[in-house]
Amino acid sequence: MDKLISLTNEHQRLAALKSYNILDTQPEKDFDDITELASQICQVPISAITLMDKDRQWFKSKVGFDKVEIPREEAFCTYMMDNNLKSIEVQNMHMDNHFNTNPYVAGDPKIAFYAGVLLIDPDGQTLGSLCVYDLEPKQLTDFQLNALEKLAHQVIQLLELRKKNALLEENNANLLSKYNELEQFARVVSHDIKSPLNNIISLTNLFQEEYGNSIDEAGNEYLEYISKSSLELKNFVDAILIYYKSDTINTTQKEEINWNELFRKTISMLDSKNEYEIVFPSNNTVQFYSNKMAMEQIISNLISNSIKYNDKEKVKIEIGLTERTKEILLTIKDNGIGIAKEDYEKVFSFFTTLGKKDRFENNGTGIGLSTVQKMVHKLDGRIELESEIGKGSTFTLYFKK
């Protein structure tokens, strides 16, 4: 029964060791620094961080010898593990009956002194040991023994940190893979939806033009509803595509922003049928380098949002530009419906809408401002909102110079 329990414990111990993915890895400076320090503190020529595998003792780090591994039965720390000793000091190996026949004591390099501390993980499993050796008999001071124990603890901390970093990298890789799959899915689905949607919109408009006079008022209302609903869905799909395309913008590619040109170009792309007044600073000298495509998308989305969510007969939008010592401030101010303070965070959340229709009686997508915030953050900036119900909103963007 005891043998069965011992075998079970060994399986658990080996599983714990394997979980660190450390065996047969390349030397690492953090571990080498510890063995170097152990040799210096204990004033010995040889030290090692060992890990006990099933049939071998493998050296993760070592000072003073060249071996990569030795058979488990020849390892000094096997005695510690078999006898449940957390640490050991053998002042004269040649006089100790447990070790004097060991090939590394009886033969070269004729090790005479050995001290070791077991490496025990947070779950109580023994992974190996931190050891120091000398070719002459000696005795460590209390300070040296205490330091050796603390260094062994640091080895465990390094192993834990290494394990967590590896897990984090694996999780990040999985997240990136899933994100890429989701992005590809969004692109394919968006493309597959847009094509029939465009056909529905075109055919509905054509049907209204050709046969609108031949059907009753209710029929025309149904056609109008089909056209409007299809257009809303198309806008939603377009917004999704813009959101995911924002990830493909290389924000490290920067050029000097010509503000006047940027404002005029962005405004020219808006629907000219809408009645609005947009005022922006002209002949400004604010020098700023950024990704032009991202800035165009940010300003376009904010202006479009100001127009859509406006209940005034005359839409008024003011664009402001302020230069500070270390940053620039870009403001978009409108006279729209306003946003309640408790909804400030919601408007930037992906797929979150406030349940209000825009001035054209269309439902919001909950994507536009989320896209803006995402791109602002990619440009290492931040966005703030101030608003008052019935009077309008001001979006302030801060960018480092």
Tell whether 28 and 160 lie within a shared domain. Answer: yes
> Can you give the residue range of the structural domain that contains 336?
250-401
Q: Which of 137, 169, 201 is the last residue of a domain?
A: 169
* Per-residue model confidence (pLDDT) at position 355: 63
Higher-confidence residue of 358 and 396: namely 396
**From 11-20, 176-185, 315-324, the region with the lowest mean pLDDT:** 176-185
Tell whether 50 and 163 lie within a shared domain. Answer: yes
Total count of domains within the chain: 2
Tell whether 158 and 276 lie within a shared domain. Answer: no
pLDDT in tens, 36-62: 999 999 999 999 999 999 999 999 999
Query: Is 51 among the domain residues?
Result: yes
Query: Is 235 among the domain residues?
Result: no
* Per-residue model confidence (pLDDT) at position 3: 36
**From 8-17, 98-107, 213-222, the region with the lowest mean pLDDT:** 213-222
Overall pTM > 0.85:
no
Closest by CA to 148, choosing from 252, 234, 42, 57, is 42
Query: Is 218 among the domain residues?
Result: no
CB 163 within 8 A of CB 20: yes
Mean per-residue pLDDT over the chain, rounded: 87
Q: What is the CATH number of the domain that holds 42?
A: 3.30.450.40
Q: Which of 127, 148, 169 is the last residue of a domain?
A: 169
In sequence order, what DSSP letters do the residues of 236-296 get, joined into one string? HHHHHHHHHHGGG--TT--EE--HHHHHHHHHHTS-TTS-EEEE---S-----EE-HHHHH
Q: Is 326 exposed, middle or buried (0-12, 13-18, 19+ CB in 10 A)?
A: exposed
Query: Is 233 among the domain residues?
Result: no
* Per-residue model confidence (pLDDT) at position 4: 34
Tell whether 163 and 295 lie within a shared domain. Answer: no
Query: Is 126 among the domain residues?
Result: yes
Q: Which of 146, 169, 192 is the last residue of a domain?
A: 169
Pairing of strands 315-323, 276-279: parallel
Tell whether 157 and 258 lie within a shared domain. Answer: no
Residue 12 in tokens: 């658990």
Tell whether 261 and 379 lie within a shared domain. Answer: yes
Q: What is the CATH number of the domain that holds 386?
A: 3.30.565.10
pLDDT in tens, 111-121: 999 999 999 99
In sequence order, what DSSP letters do the residues of 320-387 get, joined into one string? EEEE-SSEEEEEEEE-SS---GGGTTGGGSTT---S-B-TTSPBP-S-HHHHHHHHHHHTT-EEEEEE
CB 237 within 8 A of CB 366: no
Q: Can you tell me the distance from the alpha carbon of 363 to that of 233, in angstroms, rounded to the nearest whole number?
A: 10
